[in-house]
Chains A and B, each alone.
Chain A
Amino acid sequence: MENIKRREAIRRTAWIMGGVLSTPTIAGILNGCTPKPELTWTPSFFTEDQARLVMEISETIIPKTDTAGAKEIGVPGFIEEMVSIVWDEDRRKEFTDGLMKFNEECKTETGDDFVALDAIKKKEFCQKKDAEAKAAPWGQKPVFWSLKELTIVGYYTSEYGATEELQYIAIPVEQHGCQPLSETGNGKTWATS
C-alpha cells in the first residue's frame, strides 16, 4: 500500500497540473481504486480507514436529500466521541472489530471496500445489514445496530435534526393532551419527550 515513490509522483503531477489533491484522495489513487472519500473531521480515536467507513455508513443511514445528511451535521465525529469516550473498553473493541468485519463481509459480497461502492450499492448492502441486525437477538447485535443507533441519536439530538427535521420547543408553556396532529405545530414528530 505504501508506495512512497508513486505517492511523490502523483503529488508532483498534481502540482504540475495545478490542482490540489488531498492526502486521502492521493491514497485512493495509490490503492488503485476510486478515490477514498475525504474525511469531514480529524479523527482522534479511529484510524483514517475506520473513520471513512463510519462516515460513509452514517451517511448511508441518513443521506443528504433536500435536507442535510449525517456527514454535514457532524454525526461521524459524534460517533467517534461516543465510542471512544462514553463506551467502555469491551464495547469499544467490539465496535472496531465489528467495523473490520463489516468491511470484510462487504468485500466478500461485492468485491470492494464499502467506501468504494457507489451510493446505491452502499444502501443495498446496509439494508441487508439492517435486516440482519434487527433479526439478531439482544446481546448479539452486529456493529450495524450500534452504527444505526449512534447515527440516529447524533443526528436528531443536533440542533439541525431537532429543529429542522423534527419540531422542538424549548419552553412549551402549555400542555394539551389530545389534539389534531395537523394543529400541533408543523405536524412533525416532537424532538424531545
Chain B
Amino acid sequence: MNINNKAKAQNTYDAIVVGTGISGGWAAKELTEKGLKTLVLDRGRNVEHVKDYPTMNLNPWELPHDDQVPAEERKDYEKQLRTGYTIRESTKHWWIKDSEHPYSETKRFDWIRGYHVGGRSIMWGRQSYRLSDLDFEANAKDGIAVDWPIRYKDLEPWYEYAEKWIGVSGRKEGLAHLPDGSFLPPMELNCLEEHVRDSISQNFEDRLLTIGRTANITVNHNGRAHCHYRNLCMRGCPFGGYFSSQSSTLPAAMATGNMTLRPHSIVTEVMYDPETKKATGVRVQDAETGEVQEFYSKIVFLNASAIASTYILLNSKSEYHPNGMGNQSGELGRNLMDHHFKAGAEGDYDGFEDMYYHGRRPNGIYIPRFRNINEKHPDFIRGYGYQGGASRQEWRSAIAELGIGEELKEDIKTPGKWRMGLMGFGEMLPYHENKMEINPDKLDKHGLPTITFDCEFKDNELAMRKDMQASAAEMLEKAGLKNVRTYDNIGGPGLGIHEMGTARMGRDPKSSVLNGNNQVHEVQNVFVTDGAAMTSSACQNPSLTYMALTARAADFAVNELKKGNL
C-alpha cells in the first residue's frame, strides 16, 4: 500500500453525514446503529451536552443589561436580529454573525442559523406535528408544482419511530388531517385556555383547541429527565428535557462506537465518479486551518439544512453536472418555502382573577387547520394552524398600564389581567421563481462563494393572512374576550426558520431533485433528508417530518447497501 492509498483508506468510511442538526443527528444515529462506520461532519465548533451551555443556569439578574445585546455588538447580527428574539446575551452564541457569513437578497429572505454541532436542534421551537394525506396529496389535487412521491402510509411508521425516541408530549384528538402520535402525557392548559377551548368546541363544529405537541418530555424518557418548566430551552437544557442532537441522537450514535465526529469541517462539494455514476465522498475545507481534505464513503447524507445542503449540491459542479449535482431538472435551489406567520389576534379577558398557574410552560396551544378540508375557501387554497396561549399580565405590561410610585409597586405584585393571543402559521406554496443561487462574485471569510436569495410571498399567502386575523378575532370574541385586536406583521420569508423545498422530492427526474427515498435522482448514493426535500410546506412545524424522512431513508439506504445496490 503506498502512502496515498493509506491516506485514502484512513479517510474512508461506510457513510458520511453532513450536518448535525435535527436531521443530521438522526442520520448519524440510524446509520451507526445499523453498523455503518460513519463520518459525521459539521462546519462549526463542537458543543457537548450540558458542559457547553454557558448560560443555562443564569438567573435574570445574572445576565447583563436585561439580556439585551449592546449596540456595537448588534452590528454583527444585522440579519439574525430580524427575528427579534434570537440575539440575546443568553443565546447569541448559538447564532452566526452576519458580518462573518454574509448573503445577498434580491428580495428579502431571513436566513437565521447557527454553525455548531447540534445546529438548530438546540434552539428550535420543539413543536412536533405529523403531516397527513391532506398535505401529501395537495399538490396533485391542486395541480401545482409536483406531486409528493410518498403518502402518509409511507411515513406513518417512521413518525411513530421518531416520536418514540425523542418523546413528544401532547393530546390525542382523533383528527384525520393532523394524525395523533405516540404521545407522552400532555402539558396542562391554563384557565383561560380551557375556557377558550370549550367555547371553540361549542361554537365551531370544524375547530378545536389542544395543547401544543412538543418535543419537551413530560416524564423521564430514554435516560433523559423530564422538563422542569424553566422555559429556558434555547440556552440548552441541563436536564435534557427537550430533544436536541446533543441530548438524544448524537449520544446514541457515539455509543455505537461507529461514529467519527469532525467539527470545523465545511463541506464544499460532493465528489462524483462518472464511471459508477455515484458520489465518492465529500471535499472538506477546515474552518480553522483552511486545509482541504477529501473523505470517501459508499453513501452520503446531506443534512446541512435546506439552504446549505442545496448549496453543496449546487457547488458540486463537474462536466457531468454543469449546473450542480442533481440539477438536471433545473429545480435545485428553487421552490424555496417557509411558513408565513405573525398574523392573528389577541384580546383581554375579565375573570379568573383568583386563578393562576405554576411553572413556565415551554409550549403553547394549537388550533389545527380547519380551512379547505371539507369546504373550499373562496380566497385561498391550503390552510393554517394557530399557535399561541394565555397568560396573566406581569410587570412588563405595567409601563403602559399602571401608574407610578407606591401604587405601582403594590399593583405589580398582583398578577394582571388575563390575555390570550392566537397566531396563524400558514402554508406557503412552492413557486418555481422563489429561489436561492450561488453568488460567485461575493466570497465569505473562507473564500467560498455566498448565496443570493430571491423569494417572496404571493397572493395566496396574503389572502390567507386576512383570514388568519379574522378567524382568530372571531374565536376570541365568541369566547368573551374584550378589546380584541388583530395584527399582521408579515416580515420576510425565512423568518419562520422553516426554510425548505430547494431540492424537492418528486416522481420525475425532469421536475424534481430527489426521489421517494430521498435519493438524488441522478446520483443514487446521495441522500438529502432535511428541509430541502419538502415538496410542499404544509402548515405544520416541519422538524418531525425531517426526522421521519431521515430514519426512513437511512433504513432504505442500509438495505440497498446490503443488497449491493449502492
Contact assessment for A177 and B229 in the assembled complex, using a CB-CB cutoff below 8 Å:
no
Task: Indicate whether A17 reaches chain B with its CB closer than 8 angstroms.
Answer: no
Q: Known contacts A81-B65, A82-B65, A165-B412; decide if A180 and B354 are in contact (CB<8 Å).
A: yes
Measured in the bound complex, the distance between the Cα atoms of B72 and A192 in whole Å is 27
Selected contact of A61 from candidates B395, B404, B415, CB within 8 Å: B404
Q: Which of B188-196, B198-206, B310-318 contacts A (4 or more CB under 8 A)?
A: B188-196
| Least CB separation from B74: chain A residue | A88
Task: Indicate whether B376 reaches chain A with its CB closer than 8 angstroms.
Answer: no
Task: Indicate whether B474 reaches chain A with its CB closer than 8 angstroms.
Answer: no
Task: Indicate whether B334 reaches chain A with its CB closer than 8 angstroms.
Answer: no
Measured in the bound complex, the distance between the Cα atoms of B74 and A89 in whole Å is 13
Q: Known contacts A149-B399, A162-B59, A172-B358; decide if A178 and B228 are in contact (CB<8 Å).
A: no
Interface contacts (Cβ under 8 Å), in number, total 165
Task: Indicate whether A184 reaches chain B with its CB closer than 8 angstroms.
Answer: yes
Contact assessment for A152 and B396 in the assembled complex, using a CB-CB cutoff below 8 Å:
yes
| Least CB separation from B66: chain A residue | A153
| Least CB separation from A171: chain B residue | B228
Task: Indicate whether A179 reaches chain B with its CB closer than 8 angstroms.
Answer: yes
B:227-246 near A, CB below 8 Å: 227-231
Measured in the bound complex, the distance between the Cα atoms of B90 and A192 in whole Å is 15
CB distance from A193 to the nearest CB of B (A): 6
CB distance from A152 to the nearest CB of B (A): 6
Task: Indicate whether B413 reaches chain A with its CB closer than 8 angstroms.
Answer: yes
User: Which residues on the B side are within 8 Å of A185 (C-beta)?
Assistant: 358
Task: Indicate whether A65 reaches chain B with its CB closer than 8 angstroms.
Answer: yes
Q: Known contacts A123-B405, A172-B230; decide if A153 and B359 are in contact (CB<8 Å).
A: no
Task: Indicate whether B329 reaches chain A with its CB closer than 8 angstroms.
Answer: no
Measured in the bound complex, the distance between the Cα atoms of B69 and A81 in whole Å is 12
Task: Indicate whether A42 reaches chain B with its CB closer than 8 angstroms.
Answer: no
| Least CB separation from A174: chain B residue | B359
Interface string of B385-424 (1 = CB under 8 A from A): 0000001101110111001111011001111100000000
Selected contact of A85 from candidates B65, B361, B409, B412, CB within 8 Å: B65
| Least CB separation from A134: chain B residue | B400
Contact assessment for A62 and B408 in the assembled complex, using a CB-CB cutoff below 8 Å:
yes
Contact assessment for A177 and B188 in the assembled complex, using a CB-CB cutoff below 8 Å:
yes
Measured in the bound complex, the distance between the Cα atoms of B415 and A180 in whole Å is 12
Task: Indicate whether A158 reaches chain B with its CB closer than 8 angstroms.
Answer: yes
Selected contact of A174 from candidates B191, B229, B392, CB within 8 Å: B229
Contact assessment for B60 and A61 in the assembled complex, using a CB-CB cutoff below 8 Å:
no
Task: Indicate whether B85 reaches chain A with its CB closer than 8 angstroms.
Answer: no
User: Which residues on the B side are within 8 Å of A165 (C-beta)?
Assistant: 409, 412-413
Contact assessment for A188 and B229 in the assembled complex, using a CB-CB cutoff below 8 Å:
no
Selected contact of B409 from candidates A62, A127, A171, A180, CB within 8 Å: A62
Q: Known contacts A61-B405, A127-B403; decide if A176 and B359 are in contact (CB<8 Å).
A: yes
Interface residue tally of chain B, by bracket?
35 or more
User: Which residues on the B side are within 8 Å of A171 (C-beta)?
Assistant: 228, 230
Measured in the bound complex, the distance between the Cα atoms of B360 and A158 in whole Å is 19
Contact assessment for B415 and A189 in the assembled complex, using a CB-CB cutoff below 8 Å:
yes
Contact assessment for A177 and B361 in the assembled complex, using a CB-CB cutoff below 8 Å:
yes
Selected contact of B399 from candidates A63, A127, A145, A162, CB within 8 Å: A145
User: Which residues on the A side are within 8 Å of B230 (C-beta)?
Assistant: 170-172
Measured in the bound complex, the distance between the Cα atoms of B189 and A162 in whole Å is 25
B60, B191, B408 — most chain A CB neighbours (10 Å): B60
CB distance from B155 to the nearest CB of A (A): 31
**Do most interface residues of chain A lie in helix, strand or loop, or is the interface mixed?**
mixed
Measured in the bound complex, the distance between the Cα atoms of B395 and A87 in whole Å is 22
CB distance from B439 to the nearest CB of A (A): 29
User: Which residues on the A side are within 8 Å of B408 (C-beta)?
Assistant: 61-62, 152
Task: Indicate whether B355 reaches chain A with its CB closer than 8 angstroms.
Answer: yes
Q: Known contacts A153-B66, A162-B61, A188-B413; decide if A181 and B356 are in contact (CB<8 Å).
A: yes
User: Which residues on the B side are within 8 Å of A157 (C-beta)?
Assistant: 60-61, 66
User: Which residues on the A side are within 8 Å of B57 (C-beta)?
Assistant: 170
Task: Indicate whether B322 reaches chain A with its CB closer than 8 angstroms.
Answer: no
Interface string of A52-94 (1 = CB under 8 A from B): 0000000011110101000000000010011001111100000
Measured in the bound complex, the distance between the Cα atoms of B421 and A16 in whole Å is 67
Task: Indicate whether B71 reaches chain A with its CB closer than 8 angstroms.
Answer: yes
Task: Indicate whether A108 reaches chain B with its CB closer than 8 angstroms.
Answer: no
User: Which residues on the A side are within 8 Å of B227 (C-beta)?
Assistant: 175
A:130-170 near B, CB below 8 Å: 130, 134, 145, 148-149, 152-154, 156-159, 162, 165-166, 168, 170
Q: Known contacts A156-B395, A159-B61, A162-B59; decide if A175 and B404 are in contact (CB<8 Å).
A: no
Measured in the bound complex, the distance between the Cα atoms of B71 and A159 in whole Å is 25
Measured in the bound complex, the distance between the Cα atoms of B551 and A178 in whole Å is 38
| Least CB separation from B189: chain A residue | A177
Contact assessment for B414 and A189 in the assembled complex, using a CB-CB cutoff below 8 Å:
yes
User: Which residues on the A side are within 8 Å of B399 (C-beta)?
Assistant: 145, 148-149, 152
- Interface pairs (15), CB distance under 8 Å: A60-B405, A62-B409, A88-B74, A126-B405, A145-B399, A152-B395, A152-B396, A152-B412, A165-B413, A171-B228, A178-B190, A181-B415, A189-B413, A191-B394, A192-B231
Beyond the given pairs A60-B404, A86-B71, 11 more chain A to chain B contacts, judged by CB atoms under 8 angstroms and listed by A's residue number, are: A62-B405, A81-B65, A82-B65, A152-B399, A156-B412, A159-B59, A166-B412, A172-B229, A177-B188, A178-B357, A181-B356
Q: Which 3 A-B pairs have the closest CB atoms?
A: A177-B188, A175-B359, A172-B359
